[in-house]
Structures are given as C-alpha cells and as structure tokens.
C-alpha cells in the first residue's frame, strides 16, 4: 500500500523550475516582505498625496493605489517595487512574460485577499494559479 503522504519533490518541481537559486519558487518570507513594502508605499502615497493626512478613507485609497501599481508594474516589467527589492519576479508559466490582461486578473484576485491565502503544494496562491503565473527568485 502506498504512503498517503507521497513525496512530490521540492516546490516548483512539477512546474519545471529549479530547486534553489535564480528561477526557483520565491519563498513565503520574501513574498510577504515584498507585499509589506508595496503596501507601505501605497499607504504613504494615499496618506501624503490623496487624503492629505490619515482619514478613514486612507486605506481604501491605498488599496486603489496598490491595485493600479501592481497591475501596471507586473504587466510591464514583471515586478512591483517591493518585489524588486526582495529580488522576486512574476512570470507566466507558458510564455515567461506576464501580459497586461493576465496581470490585471492576478491583481484583481490578489486584492480580494482570499485567493492569495489559499496555496497549492508549490506555494503558489490561488491568484497565481488562476492567472497561470508564478513568483520566482531573480
């Protein structure tokens, strides 16, 4: 009888990615750090340029700024400022380059939060699975 906890190998193996180094799956710590940097940047922009100080609407504006920043930067260069700082890039599994529509889908799902909290065995969030993207180390 086979073991129910069968070994599926390292994260990214089924996607054809290396186990370590550049091109390997970005670990959760890096991804969360990049997200924290991006969110802090968006809150600062909302606080300083849109709401002129902290108001109850600042977080809503920060989410809008995050949405625009993420969709534009991931859809053009493949990373946000936080991802660049943490040496992460978003790649499309089939083409390597994330087109703007795929980036838009990924960002909408990421902003809903719940898809980003559901991960597969490769460590990809549901938002990445549905957009057919992966976050890798650079």
Query: 10-54: per-residue pLDDT in tens?
Result: 999 989 999 999 999 999 999 999 999 999 999 999 999 999 888
Residues in Cβ contact with 103 at an 8 Å cutoff, skipping those fewer than 6 apart: 70, 71, 72, 74, 75, 90, 131
Given pLDDT bands bounded at 50, 70 and 90, which one contains residue 1? very low
pLDDT, position 30? 95
CA nearest neighbour of 74 among 86, 89, 60: 89
CA nearest neighbour of 135 among 76, 74, 68: 74
pLDDT, position 84? 98
Strand partners, 90: 135
CA nearest neighbour of 75 among 52, 92, 58, 98: 98
Place of tokens 């660049």: 84
Output the CA torsion 89→90→95→99 (10° steps).
-120
Using one digit for the tens of pLDDT, what is the confidence trace for 45-94? Answer: 999 999 988 888 999 999 999 999 999 999 999 999 999 999 999 999 99
pLDDT, position 94? 92
């Amino acid at each position: 009888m086979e073991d129910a906890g069968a070994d599926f190998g390292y994260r990214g193996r089924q996607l054809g990615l290396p186990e370590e180094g550049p091109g390997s799956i970005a670990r959760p710590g890096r991804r969360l750090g990049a997200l924290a940097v991006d969110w802090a940047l968006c809150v600062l922009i909302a606080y300083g340029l849109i709401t002129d100080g902290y108001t109850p609407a600042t977080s809503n504006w920060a989410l809008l700024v995050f949405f625009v920043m993420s969709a534009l930067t991931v859809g053009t260069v493949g990373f946000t400022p936080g991802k660049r700082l943490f040496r992460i890039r978003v790649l499309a599994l089939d083409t390597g380059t994330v087109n703007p529509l795929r980036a838009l889908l990924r960002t909408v799902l990421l902003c809903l939060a719940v898809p980003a909290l559901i991960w597969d065995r490769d460590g990809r969030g549901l938002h990445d699975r549905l957009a057919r993207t992966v976050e890798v180390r650079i």
